[in-house]
Amino acid sequence: MQDLGGVVVVAAGADHSRRPHLRSPFIAAAPVRWGKRSTPCAPPRLLSPSSPKPNSNPLLDPRRRPPNNLPASPPAEHPVTLPPPPRRLRGGQSRPPADLAAAIRSTADADIDAATCLALKASATIPLPTHSLALLLRRLAVHRSVAAARKLLNELHPTTTKSTEDEDSSSSSSSPTTPAATPAPPGALLALADAVCRGGNPREISQLLPVLADHGVTADAHLYNSLMKAYIAASDPAGVLAVMRRMKADGVDPDLVTYNTLIYGLARAGMVAKGRTFLDAMAAKGLFPDVITYTSLMNGMCVKGDAVGALNLLEEMEKKGCEPNERTYNTLLMGLCKNKKLDRAVEVYRSMAAAGMKLEAPAYATFVRGLCRSGSVADAYEVFDYAIETKSITEVTAYTELDNSLKWLRRMKS
């Protein structure tokens, strides 16, 4: 390629169709002759710098357009059907609900506020899927508050109908009531309730009850039991009793789990007599106490120092056909040892050994310590061998507790 006074000359045998970076803009591209490589190309045509630039798009250049055997337009008997346009959502969005739900699920963990803004763009007539709404309500309840979840629910699913009246017209003529939006799915509300109950905050659970009532979901015994457990964790027996009264006022029948939770919370707070009254009231409801009921009440008696009452309760549950388990015997064994009833504790231990039950670590430590301090070293070694044989606790724990008790006994004798 040479430049002669503003005119570009390209050798006739040079084929630059395969190397566009070597092609000059002032040379009209010659048509490519497909075939053998030895076939010479047409001689180039010289153009001056003032000549119009040829079309750089090979598809628009008729000289370089590849052959096309397809018809220019489809036949009339096969009309082209275009897909329907995406449904318009609130805020000018064109995203279908499936894409919006996927965006919410991918954003909820990273940025809960952005996911909430995406949810507010959903249409009132085409609500979000239940699983996306449930995920968002869970995240709001855990990372924000129940009030934030309730605000989002009221935005997406209003609970009240709004009516507008014409003040100039008479009282009889009023505008028709605007229909409410689609009700909130019960699955999303139950997911919100589960997340709040897992948090264990009594205040949050109390705020959840009116939310469910506004959306037509009746609180069941499971929700009240969770609220009761939250008050127990907060060491508030008055709140536990208040939940029981509210449960009866709302017409929800307490079940066995409700009574077991109530008796456990009262016994833990030292209100054993009050728990005993609820134990007697279970029979009137047609509910029979199980081993959890008796063990919870027995633990409260042992904590208060009523070892005799705990033994009487053990006899009562055996008469009613309720078999005590390992937790019952370990609870009673610890209570007897702490109340210095070692003779009765040894009887309970014999019953456990006959049934092949294991000793728990706290019960073993309390029992061995009590035996050593009372001078019954042989019985302490027997309990040690039984704990190792039944693999109730690790050998390190068994040796350590027995050695500490024997050291204390030697110091007391010296």
Residue 276 is part of a domain; what is its CATH number?
1.25.40.10
The pLDDT score that the predictor gives to residue 83 is: 45
Q: Is the pLDDT of residue 368 over 60?
A: yes
Strand partners, 45: 28
Does 129 map to a domain?
yes
Give yes or no: residues 3 and 107 share one domain: no
Q: State which of 285, 308, 324 marks the end of a domain.
A: 324
- The pLDDT tens digits for 26-51 are 444 445 455 445 555 555 555 555 55
Asked if residue 19 has pLDDT above 70, the reply is no
Same domain? For 238 and 196 the reply is no
In-domain check, residue 69: no
Q: Which residues are registered as beta bridge partners of 7?
A: 4
**214 plus 108 within the same structural domain:** yes
- Residue 227 and residue 314 in one domain: yes
How many degrees, rounded to 5, is the angle at CA 132 between CA 126 and CA 134? 110
Instruction: Output the CA angle 305-308-314, nearest 5 degrees.
Output: 115
| pLDDT (tens digit per residue) in 135-152 | 888 888 778 877 888 788
Secondary structure (H, E, C), 209-277: HHHHHHCCCCCCHHHHHHHHHHHHHCCCHHHHHHHHHHHHHCCCCCCHHHHHHHHHHHHHCCCHHHHHH
What is the extent of the structural domain holding 46? 1-55
Question: Among the three residues 297, 324, 351, which one is the final residue of a domain in this structure?
Answer: 324
* Planar angle of CA 213, 218, 222, nearest 5 degrees: 120
Share above pLDDT 90 across residues of the chain, in percent, rounded to a whole number: 19
Q: Rounded distance, CA 305 to CA 299, Å?
A: 10
Note whether 371 and 337 are within 8 A (CB).
no
Is 109 in the same domain as 45?
no
Per the structure, the count of domains in the chain is: 3
How many Å apart are CA 229 and CA 243, to the nearest integer? 10
Same domain? For 116 and 191 the reply is yes
Q: Are residues 150 and 107 in the same domain?
A: yes
Residue 173: exposed, middle, or buried by beta-carbon count in 10 A (0-12, 13-18, 19+)? exposed
Query: Is pLDDT at 60 greater than 80 in this prediction?
Result: no
Q: What is the pTM of this model?
A: 0.61
CA distance linking residue 197 with residue 211, whole number of Å: 14
Per-residue pLDDT, 300: 92
